[in-house]
Structure 1
């Protein structure tokens, strides 16, 4: 009887030891599962944040591309087309189109600036961010200068035009450069290819530059055609004899 009691006591102790042994194991396994779950959840959140950040960077790039890489240069081409117009509806039409394009450009730049301030880490440790913050101020200054435009014929008109032209040219050139630097910054941050976007932007700027230079020569080309036409008429008149000229004169009907 005593032997059976000792045996039961031994089994009880063994059962307790096994229970104490497996309980930490199950607890450690549960802890490991919790850690793995939290890690996977954290990785999923990081992926979502990365996708959101990638979308913000892409949207910021397109806003600034559309503004400084397209609307501003096209607005310059439009206002240059009005140089040959003295007055009338066409002059007002060109002016209003130029104004609308520049207002849209300023609005897009403002949206891109607000997005960069709220969404990105603005450490200003690269040229893209440094030039960008300067461009924001220059664009708004250019807009204010456009609002206080003096009338034609006033004394301050020439000074205003020079400042407006210089600032607009600087904004356009720096804007194009910053679009390129933004593409390279996008490549460094996301490791995505930018070759196709660089080619598209280069073709666009090349076409705009061609039309800009062509506008300077358009009036000269038209004058050359007028001069050539007058020379042909003069040479034709000189080649005709007096009798031929009399034959060409219309005769009054009887």
Structure 2
């Protein structure tokens, strides 16, 4: 008997739910509490009950004002078992229902949650106050929502109309923008709307904030994954990454321990209310996360450093640097601005190139015999100054790599670079302890100092080549690969230029001093003692050149 009654009650409930709210005509202005509305419903459901304590209506319209040319989100939230609802609007159009009875009247059933959001498209200017009429019900009663309306506000800002001639200037790219801002502008305790947003080109993030959670909708022009993180730079930050595959949303929070895919590790942050869409080359993921977890915290009132990126494939994969950005966003007020970070790879590369490809060879040339003879009183200072600058730039490049690069010593370029810098330190120390000319080991010191200097320069130029490929990811863009090839070509050209300068200086010195050039020395097979004698003759020539003679 009890089972029969339960089945009957369930059947009646399903009939009422499926029938309501279509049984009520779209005559919102005449809906009043206690009024007989329809004879198609059972018993008490024929008259409307007071829903002021059951139905809550909110809108993302700033200041409760609709604006011509804009769309607004209207959210209806109910309690208990009151689920289906019917919405009618006095002006404009409404979408988001499952059964429409016209552009101004829609039904939402069967309902599956206590909160439903509709999109309200504003009417033309001058339409005045717009009233919303809402019903909600269950198997026993139908409730009338309390009065809700939006007043007409100033029209949305329009760009000035410009008549473009055939020779008009190109379009201006607008800077990244954020939504309407203000204290608590993004707060929506029900997390049922997205009152705030920030955009940068094809990337857009929308959100709503409650006391303990934040709900995001992240959109990007891609058919792959999109991600939003919290931190000043990628390594060490936390990010929520998601993609849409076959209509199924895969959205998780990760710790970014490095730039490689294997260093992006899932953490235990609870991600709820996950959904996604992918259409027309655009992917959007929607999810809710706690403001604070045992791993990280998102400030509900202050400015948060945010990072974002996207890839071309579903699933975790690397991305070119052009598919990323950084911003500072206040998730409470909606204020946001894009931040430009220093490209530390460029700083490192430029510092090392200036050190080993410019100042170090300049110092070597300053110590050549011909330059010594021509700049008898200044060559030493030029040599020391150039080598000092080379050391400063090398130290700068090393500090940048250790501070900002992921695992800088795990590549051949990094390991070789550390070894070269150690040799550089030895060379600097050797220059500081330079013996006097009359010292017995002066000739050996000169041979070792020049040999180490030449070796250091050679290793430095080689490591610059290795550096051009050290930062490439798995999916570098073709234009980035082209840039790398261009830099390699320019570096080769620069080395050829240095070689030409060295040959010219050697020949000029040989002619001026009557010494054999480098090729002749090689052919004669001179031993170390002979080379030392040549160095002594070089010193003698430079010394006499100070007196105005060459012997």
How does the TM-score come out when normalised to structure 1?
0.71
8 Å contact kept, 2:413–2:466: yes
Instruction: Check conservation: 2:344, 2:404, Cα contact below 8 A.
Output: yes
Counterpart of 1:164 in structure 2 is 449
**Which one of the candidate residues 56, 71, 82 is aligned to 2:359?**
71
Q: What is the aligned counterpart of 1:61 among 349, 368, 377?
A: 349
Distance 1:84 1:28, change over 3 A: closer
Superposed displacement of residue 177, structure 1:
0.4
CA distance in 2, matches of 1:97, 1:78: 6
Are the aligned partners of 1:82 and 1:95 in contact in 2 as well (CA < 8 Å)? no
After superposition, the Cα gap between the structure-2 partners of 1:51 and 1:139, relative to the gap in structure 1 and judged at 3 Å, is: farther
Residue from 25, 39, 43 that aligns with 1:7: 43
Partner of 2:341: 52
CA distance in 1, matches of 2:436, 2:513: 30
| Distance change >3 Å, CA 223–CA 71, structure 1 → 2 | closer
* Correspondence list, 1:20-59, <5 A: 21=112, 23-26=114-117, 30=193, 34-37=215-218, 41-42=228-229, 45-46=307-308, 47-48=324-325, 52=341, 55-59=343-347
Give 5+ residue unaligned stretches, structure 2: 1-38, 52-81, 86-110, 118-189, 195-205, 208-214, 220-225, 230-238, 240-305, 309-323, 327-338, 515-551
Give the distance between the partners of 2:384 and 2:192, measured in 1 at CA: 69
Report the 3-state secondary structure (helix = DSSP H, G, I; strand = E; otherwise coil) of the residue aligned with 1:48.
Answer: strand
| Aligned mates of 1:219, 1:40 — CA distance in 2 | 63
Q: Is the Cα contact below 8 Å between 2:83 and 2:112 reproduced in 1?
A: yes
Worse-superposed segment, 171-180 or 206-215: 206-215
8 A contact 1:72–1:105 mirrored in 2: yes
TM value normalised by structure 2: 0.35
Deviation at 1:156, TM superposition (A): 1.9
Deviation of the 1:57 alpha carbon:
0.2
Query: What is the CA-CA distance between 1:215 and the residue it aligns to?
Result: 2.4
Paired residues for 1:118-157 under 5 Å: 118-157=403-442
SS in 2 for 1:209: helix
Taking the TM superposition and a 5 Å limit, the aligned residue runs for 1:173-212 are 173-188=458-473, 191=477, 192=480, 193-212=483-502
Is 1:18 matched up with 2:84?
yes
Deviations 1:158-205 (A, max 9, x none): 221122112111110010001111112245575412232222221211
Q: Give the root-mean-square deviation of aligned CA atoms.
A: 3.4
**How many Å apart are 1:72 and its aligned residue?**
0.3
Higher helix share: 1
* CA distance in 1 between partners of 2:376 and 2:357 (Å): 25
Q: Could you say which residue in structure 2 is the equivalent of 1:241?
A: none
CA distance in 1, matches of 2:372, 2:400: 40
CA distance in 1, matches of 2:473, 2:462: 17
User: Which of residues 381, 390, 414 in structure 2 aligns to 1:96?
Assistant: 381
Q: Which has the higher contact order (CA 8 A, sep 6+)?
A: 1
Residue equivalent to 1:229: none
Distance of aligned partners of 1:182 and 1:153 in 2 relative to their CA distance in 1, 3 Å threshold: same
Residues 65/151 of structure 1: CA separation in 2 closer, same or farther (3 Å cut):
same
Structure 1: how far apart are the matches of 2:389 and 2:83?
Answer: 78
Check 1:213–1:138 CA distance in 2 against 1; reply closer, same or farther (3 A cut): same
The reply on whether 1:213 has 2:503 as its aligned counterpart is yes
Offset of residue 116 of structure 1: 0.7
Q: Which has the higher strand share?
A: 2
In structure 2, relative to structure 1, the CA distance for the partners of 1:188 and 1:29 (3 Å cut) is same
Measure the CA separation in 2 of the matches of 1:10 and 1:60: 77
- Please point out which of 102, 113, 120 is paired with 2:398: 113
Aligned residues: 216
CA distance in 2, matches of 1:121, 1:131: 16
CA 1:92–1:187: 2 relative to 1, 3 Å: farther
The superposition leaves residues 19-69 of structure 1 with CA deviations (integer Å, 9 ceiling, x where unpaired) of: 67552445686599623159765386132369736x110111000000011
SS at match of 1:45: strand
